[in-house]
Amino acid sequence: MRPPLLLLLLLALPILLAAEDPVRVDYACPAADVDKFGLTCSEDEPCDVFLELAGAEGVGSTIFAVGNLHTVTTTLYGVLLMSGDGGKTWTEPSPRIEGAALDQIQFPDFQHGWASGVMEEPLARDPFFLVTADGGKTWRRRPLFNETHYGSIQQFWFDSSKSGELIIERSQGPGSVYEIYETANGGDTWTIKGSGTKNPVLARAPAKDSMAWRVRADAPSKTNRIERRTARGAWETVASFAVRAGVCK
């Protein structure tokens, strides 16, 4: 299972040369990946690979974005992007994560950040965080559960470097559809607060319409756009990314 279409490990690889052009997050699609993901691609019937951005966050002059690379049917890699110059040039500060999608990112301060992700194939399972304590220079992967757990992080929010909460939306199995967890130690451990079939809301998290950053798909230009809210409440484009990332044959 993979999110709807909008959409070689790399470490800190520059991917933008001209600020006026859409950023290209290139994917070479080696033959090993075609076999690994079971893609039915060939020279006669190639498979396009797309970039889908899902979330963005600004920390001072640094901007982060998260998303995934995918074909029409298969999620290939979760991707974390970073710009240290206000969106002019971009790097990937963490290796791409095979078979995963990254969905949301948040920094409660200038040093501590979390990016939520989930393994997508064949069903959403084993939600995790990428975590940084040095302003995004380095990241480490931290699973939420010690055993296989079907579902994904629907929403999360940290008030500080220690205190946070999240909602898990379960995709498989009996029982409650939604689970609410909280942490008091920066996500080292999580305690379940409640569960149910009604979609909950995190009381601590701000409303979506008050967020300072967003990502938006622009169909006419075939780009994903990172936008920032101005002091007057309007949205301005900080960077745009080409949707098409490569092709598998």
Cα(159)–Cα(39) distance, integer angstroms: 42
pLDDT at 207: 81
pLDDT tens-digit map of 170-225: 866 666 699 999 999 999 999 999 999 888 989 888 887 789 999 999 999 999 99
Mean pLDDT of 122-139: 95
Per-residue pLDDT at 168 exceeds 50: yes
Per-position DSSP letters for 153-169, written without gaps between them:
EEEEEESSSS-EEEEEE
* Other CB atoms within 10 Å distance of the CB of residue 169: 18
Kindly tell me if the per-residue pLDDT of 35 is higher than 80: yes
For residues 143-166, average pLDDT: 95
pLDDT at 8 over 70: no
The values of phi and psi at residue 143, to 5°, are -70, 155
Give kind and range of the element (H or E) at residue 29. none
How many whole angstroms separate alpha carbon 145 and alpha carbon 97?
18
- Tokens standing for residue 69: 């690379």
Q: Do the Cβ atoms of 77 and 92 come closer than 8 Å?
A: no
3 against 247, higher pLDDT? 247
Whether residue 146 has pLDDT greater than 50: yes
DSSP run (H or E) holding 31: helix 31-36
For residue 174, the tally of other CB atoms under 10 A from its CB is 5
Question: What is the DSSP-derived secondary structure letter of residue 59?
Answer: E
Among 187, 129, 193, CA closest to 167: 193
Q: Where are the domains of the chain?
A: 31-248
